[in-house]
Chain A
Amino acid sequence: MTNKIFNLIINGVGGQGVITLLILIDQVAMNEGYDVRSSELHGLSQRGGSVETHIRFGKKVNSPLIANGKADLILSLEILEGLRETEKSGKQTKFLVNDYFLPFLGSLTAEEIKKQLGLIKNETYIIPASKDCKEKLQNEIVCTLYSLGYAVAKNLIPMKKESVLKAIDQMVPEKYKELNINAFNLGYGS
């Protein structure tokens, strides 16, 4: 892994916690000894619209943006946004999609979206991150940590569990630490 850049796209809907997850993963990458660059969007783009962020880590990273077709993993917090990413995914791109649907006026139905997601040839995992977090932790927003836990457990991302736990300890405010660790472990063990 050391000479290759890992390209991760995290996307979802503004307000879902995409950037919070990005900040954490940046720190994990640094803890793993990688060079890391990421790019995010704020302001208007955050207000309930599609949000796409890029993280790249490896020996030396030049640009914070991932070229079309070059993503190694797409972590989507919402199914339509996950499907949207298939428009520019490469053969090697893996998909990890939170089974959560935020409909809007004129959107497809959840059934249609999942049907289309089922048709792609890429390695795809659709996981009940929001549902499990809501039921077991009474908090949907940590579906982000759940998804990361799943990605680490299934080797979808070259990161060690200990590095993530260390980053949580470094980055997350004291009162939310337990919740974040629980969500991570829930995804890791699922």
Chain B
Amino acid sequence: MKKILLGNEAIVRAALASGVSYVTGYPGCPSAEIGDEFGKIAKENGVYAEYATNEKTALESAIGASFSGLKVLVNMKSFGINVCSDVLLPLAYTGTKGGMVIVVADDPSCWSSAQSEQNSRMYAYLGHIPMLEPADPQECYDFTKIGFEISEKFNMPVILRTVTRCAHQRAVVEVDEPHSVETPRGDFVKNPHQYSTMPPRTLEMKKELLEKIKKIQAYAEKSKINKIVGLPKSYNLKVGIIASGVAGLHVMEALEELKLDLPVLQLGSFYPLPKEKIIKFIKPLKKVLVVEELEGYVEKEIAVLAKDANAKMEIFGKNVLPIIGELSAEKVCGALSKVVGMKFAEFKTKNLNLPKRTARLCEGCPYWYILPTIKRIAPEGTIFGGDIGCNMIGALPPHSMYDYLFCMGASIGVAHGILKAEGPERSRKVISFMGDGTFFHSGIAGMVNAVYNKSNPLMIVMDNRITAMTGHQPNPGMGKNLMGEEAPELSIEEIAKACGVKNIKVLDPINQKELEDVVKEFLEKEEISLIVCKKICALLLKKQTAEKHDQ
């Protein structure tokens, strides 16, 4: 059956076709549609689906399910793998029981990511974890299924690393007819020898892990995920291309554009690499161009392999392609023309110097009542800390208010450090801003640190009653979970109180006078203070009103 699918939708379909029964993760762009879709279809397909409080608890949840024998899909964006890395690395040592595929979606060019242009491929090396790189929705579908196969065959978690142009690409995909499965119940069979990492067993486990990777490499050598495209006569020029993931699409486009016929080794497995296949491919070549986005990890591997296999071969890669930003057919054309020595005139764009239209707060967004007001009334020199979510739009004009911005939950953690460093005699004010989703994700730990180590930031939690930026996902403050069931509604102010925060105020920021008065009062406090500005996301309100109207 042929269907047009988004890369993320293809992953969902393939996971279902593979018999997945447990889905967990944390929403982020460009991976969010995976969890969101399962939220809608889980029940009818006999699947359990959740959004965990953060990526680390998600992966822990996944491990519990896998050890109990269930097939698990985990979904997160690039930065999520940083959050769960603590539990990811020992997972490679213990291995899995039920198959586990972990989707990690990178965002080259930072279309929807603030904190860094992360290349999560390095985690494969760091943890010795197999990693597959699909190029398009069809490969998202195929590789998810292969990922589960590898995971079950070798009892290893497999990372499916996508990028924006793959996860958010739509294309025609050949899919199997969907079939529903009975939800299997898990059964945790005790096996501490395998499931507990504890020296001296830990080093033994590392040895077992490396042996597994060798076997998976042998599998990768034979697998169709690494394929050579091009006819024998294409070898005439003695120039070959090795492409990784989505870069392969740009290579095919560039070859067509330049009317070149060159052999291409399209790598679908980033780790372990099919070394024998690569050696066979590069042996007859005089030149090879390695096309991969961001840092040239594959290129370095090729250089090592070429030392023995074909030392005279010239290797091109990051000397003709950028490390920053996603690739395109044009960039590959530019690189290829240098390698084969032909002319290529890049299209000259005009520059009309048009004003940039950056992201902005939506019409009616409650944050309009908070950010400008606090900026206006805060004393001269106040430091403002931003966080991840809709609130980061506060970094852009017309607000331009954040003095620092890092990752989920960092606004309060860094605020504490500044206050301790400057000391109380400076009496500088530091105000941190985060949303409700971020508070539950990782804001609590920073708040506890400020209480325990005695600093006095003013923490503003802008509670818009949902995780808004990534497309309206539920969080623990809402009283609902991903599958639409009623759930305990965790109170931000009660949590803060239990953590020892003494100055707490919950208010509706539309009451501007009250907000101003409380900010002024709390800025004089010697301990940490918290204002929870509670007002529903304007888009969510609109949606809810429309739904009520329909009923």
Set of chain B residues within 8 Å of A81, measured between Cβ atoms: 357
Set of chain A residues within 8 Å of B249, measured between Cβ atoms: 62-64
| Residue A14, interface by CB 8 Å | yes
- How many contacts A-B (CB < 8 Å)? 143
Interface residues of A in 32-88 (CB under 8 A from B): 35-50, 61-65, 67-70, 80-81, 83-84, 86-88
Interface residues of B in 2-22 (CB under 8 A from A): 2, 4
Q: What's the minimum C-beta distance from B10 to chain A, rounded to whole angstroms? A: 13
Whether A107 pairs with B359 at a CB distance below 8 angstroms is no
Contact (A39, B168) CB under 8 Å given A45-B111, A49-B359: yes
Q: What's the minimum C-beta distance from A85 to chain B, rounded to whole angstroms? A: 10
| Residue A142, interface by CB 8 Å | no
Please report the total number of B residues contacting A with Cβ < 8 Å.
Answer: 50
Query: Using an 8 Å CB-CB cutoff, how does the interface string of B77-115 with A read, 1 for contact, 0 for none?
Result: 000000000000000000000000000000000011110
Specify which of A43, A62, A70 is in contact with B112 (CB 8 Å cutoff): A43
Whether A26 pairs with B362 at a CB distance below 8 angstroms is no
Set of chain A residues within 8 Å of B349, measured between Cβ atoms: 68-69, 87-88
Whether B329 pairs with A44 at a CB distance below 8 angstroms is no
Whether A42 pairs with B30 at a CB distance below 8 angstroms is yes
Contact (A64, B169) CB under 8 Å given A42-B29, A43-B29, A44-B111: yes
Q: What's the minimum C-beta distance from B472 to chain A, rounded to whole angstroms? A: 12
Whether B352 pairs with A37 at a CB distance below 8 angstroms is no
Whether A65 pairs with B329 at a CB distance below 8 angstroms is yes
| Residue B303, interface by CB 8 Å | no
| Residue A20, interface by CB 8 Å | no
Q: What's the minimum C-beta distance from A102 to chain B, rounded to whole angstroms? A: 8
Set of chain B residues within 8 Å of A48, measured between Cβ atoms: 357, 359-362
Set of chain B residues within 8 Å of A41, measured between Cβ atoms: 111-112, 164, 168
Q: What's the minimum C-beta distance from B370 to chain A, rounded to whole angstroms? A: 16
Whether B256 pairs with A62 at a CB distance below 8 angstroms is yes
| Residue B545, interface by CB 8 Å | no
Whether B398 pairs with A105 at a CB distance below 8 angstroms is yes
Whether B170 pairs with A67 at a CB distance below 8 angstroms is no
Set of chain A residues within 8 Å of B392, measured between Cβ atoms: 44
Set of chain B residues within 8 Å of A90, measured between Cβ atoms: 347
Residue of B nearest to A88 (CB): B349
Q: What's the minimum C-beta distance from B245 to chain A, rounded to whole angstroms? A: 13
Set of chain B residues within 8 Å of A139, measured between Cβ atoms: none
For the complex, what is the distance from the CA of A40 to the CA of B6, rounded to whole Å?
A: 10
Whether B352 pairs with A83 at a CB distance below 8 angstroms is yes
Interface residues of A in 129-166 (CB under 8 A from B): none
Specify which of B169, B330, B354 is in contact with A68 (CB 8 Å cutoff): B330
Whether A37 pairs with B360 at a CB distance below 8 angstroms is no
Set of chain A residues within 8 Å of B28, measured between Cβ atoms: 43
Task: Point out which of A38, A43, A90 has the most chain B C-beta atoms below 10 A from its C-beta.
Answer: A43
Contact (A36, B390) CB under 8 Å given A43-B469, A87-B349, A107-B355: no
| Residue B171, interface by CB 8 Å | yes
Set of chain A residues within 8 Å of B30, measured between Cβ atoms: 42-43
| Residue A30, interface by CB 8 Å | yes
| Residue B470, interface by CB 8 Å | yes
Specify which of B32, B250, B360 is in contact with A63 (CB 8 Å cutoff): B250
Whether B359 pairs with A37 at a CB distance below 8 angstroms is no
| Residue A27, interface by CB 8 Å | yes
Whether A64 pairs with B111 at a CB distance below 8 angstroms is no
Interface residues of A in 81-117 (CB under 8 A from B): 81, 83-84, 86-88, 90, 104-108, 116
Q: What's the minimum C-beta distance from A39 to chain B, rounded to whole angstroms? A: 5
For the complex, what is the distance from the CA of A12 to the CA of B125, rounded to whole Å?
A: 41
| Residue B161, interface by CB 8 Å | no
Set of chain A residues within 8 Å of B56, measured between Cβ atoms: none
Whether B357 pairs with A13 at a CB distance below 8 angstroms is yes
Set of chain A residues within 8 Å of B398, measured between Cβ atoms: 105
For the complex, what is the distance from the CA of A50 to the CA of B111, rounded to whole Å?
A: 11
For the complex, what is the distance from the CA of A116 to the CA of B355, rounded to whole Å?
A: 14
Interface residues of B in 292-334 (CB under 8 A from A): 328-330
| Residue A15, interface by CB 8 Å | yes
Specify which of A37, A63, A108 is in contact with B170 (CB 8 Å cutoff): A37
For the complex, what is the distance from the CA of A3 to the CA of B502, rounded to whole Å?
A: 71
Specify which of A42, A46, A67, A86 is in contact with B330 (CB 8 Å cutoff): A67
Set of chain B residues within 8 Å of A62, measured between Cβ atoms: 249, 252-253, 256
Q: Could you pull out 19 A-B pairs where Cβ atoms are within 8 angstroms? A: A30-B2, A40-B170, A42-B471, A44-B29, A44-B111, A44-B112, A47-B361, A47-B393, A63-B250, A63-B253, A64-B170, A65-B328, A67-B330, A68-B347, A68-B349, A69-B347, A80-B354, A87-B352, A104-B360
8 nearest A-B pairs in the assembled complex, by CB-CB distance: A43-B29, A43-B112, A69-B347, A48-B360, A62-B252, A47-B359, A63-B253, A49-B359
